[in-house]
Amino acid sequence: MFKSLTGKEPAAQVIENAKKEVAKMKRKPHLVIVLVGNDPASEIYVRKKLEKAESIGVRATLKKFDEKTSEKEVLALVCRLNEDDDVDGFIVQAPLPKQIDQNRVLDAIDPKKDVDGWTVANLGKLTAGMSDAYLPATPAGVMKMLEFYKVPLRGKHAVVVGRSNVVGKPMALLLLAKDATVTICHSKTQNLANHTRNADVIVAAAGNPKLITADMVKEGAFIIDVGTTKVGDKTVGDVDYENVIKKANCSPVPGGVGPMTVAMLISNVLDVAKRQRR
């Protein structure tokens, strides 16, 4: 049996460090989460983020808007949060309802308060290899998992499945920064298996249940499954975990990347608080 790359232990390590740092701070950092609409998955993610932040002593506030809220109203709140000295960092939970231009809203966030690392400024810094970029929480969490499980990256072939601005592209850049040779695949990629079969490391972020099957992976490879799709009452990953784990090391869904995303968000909040108050 190969190793199940669970997120629980590396996430606990990040959270434990964060707890110690918060305990030393005179002023507790303040995270705000903006949630627009009633997407059930978003509500669960937001609740987990708020609970985890509060459990380690970070002040966490939810600003909730209903489904029909206009872009103007959300942008007005973003401006207020940018100006509010008592707010260290904030996120606007994606996806936003159709009437709102998500890119416009996310990019209105002050890059210094952008704890999700989704602004063009922070993504640009990441692309340029600048060390003061705030990193998107999910790809940063995957990197922490790879580090925790001592997965070799230098000179290895990594395949990222998915090219979104929030997961796939930053993921590829972070792997590249660790000297992996990176291939990015997407929905127009021809013969995905030809790429994944040659990979030492696969990060699957397509949102396509069981897209990666055992015949598509190299024996002993390391596979991180970012995908989460609701199928009935279950959350299903992009990897056929039950069969792939017989051939390669693989992260489960749930219990893999999810806890890492929350932990890295908290870590970013502390980072922002330390930099702003220095």
Q: Which residues bind ligand NAP (CB under 6 A)?
A: 138, 161-164, 166-168, 185-189, 192, 205-208, 211, 226-229, 257-258, 261
Min CB(161)–ligand NAP separation in Å:
5
CA-to-CA distance for 142 and 257, rounded, in angstroms?
Answer: 7
Q: Please, which residue, 176 or 192, has the CB nearer to ligand NAP?
A: 192
d(CA 141, CA 139) in angstroms, rounded, equals: 5
Q: Which residue in the list 93, 114, 156, 240 is annotated as catalytic?
A: 93
Of 52, 88, 113, 116, catalytic: 116
User: Of 122 and 138, which has the nearer Cβ to ligand NAP?
Assistant: 138
Alpha carbons 259 and 14: distance in angstroms, whole number: 10
Nearest distance from C-beta of residue 97 to ligand NAP, angstroms = 16
116 is catalytic: yes
Given a contact cutoff of 8 angstroms between Cβ atoms, the answer to whether 161 and 225 are in contact is no
Sheet holding 181-185, edge to edge: 181-185, 157-161, 201-204, 222-225, 249-250
User: Which tokens sit at 56?
Assistant: 């380690």
Cβ proximity to ligand NAP: between 1 and 264 the closer is 264
In terms of DSSP bridges, do strands 229-231 and 234-236 run parallel, antiparallel, or are they unpaired? antiparallel
- Tell me whether residue 111 or residue 170 sits nearer to ligand NAP (CB atom): 170
Nearer to ligand NAP, 38 or 70 (CB): 38
Give min distance, CB of 95 to ligand NAP, in A.
Answer: 8
Work out how close the CB of 69 gets to ligand NAP at its nearest, in angstroms, rounded to a whole number: 22
Question: If you ran DSSP here, which 8-state letter would residue 209 be given?
Answer: T
Shortest CA distance to 106 belongs to which of 133, 127, 87, 78?
Answer: 78
Specify the DSSP element, H or E, that contains 125. Answer: helix 120-127
In the complex, minimum distance from the CB of residue 276 to ligand NAP, in angstroms, rounded to a whole number: 26
**Dist. CA 61–CA 77, nearest whole Å:** 13
Closest CB 278 distance from ligand NAP, rounded Å: 30
Q: How does DSSP assign 228-262, residue by residue? A: -EEETTEEE-SB-HHHHTTTSEE--SSSSHHHHHH
Active site (annotated) includes residue 26: no
**CB closer to ligand NAP out of 69 and 229:** 229
Residue 102 bears catalytic tag: no
Question: Which residues lie across from 91 on neighbouring strands?
Answer: 33
Measured distance CA(54)–CA(95) in Å, rounded: 24
Instruction: Enumerate the active-site residues.
Output: 49, 93, 116
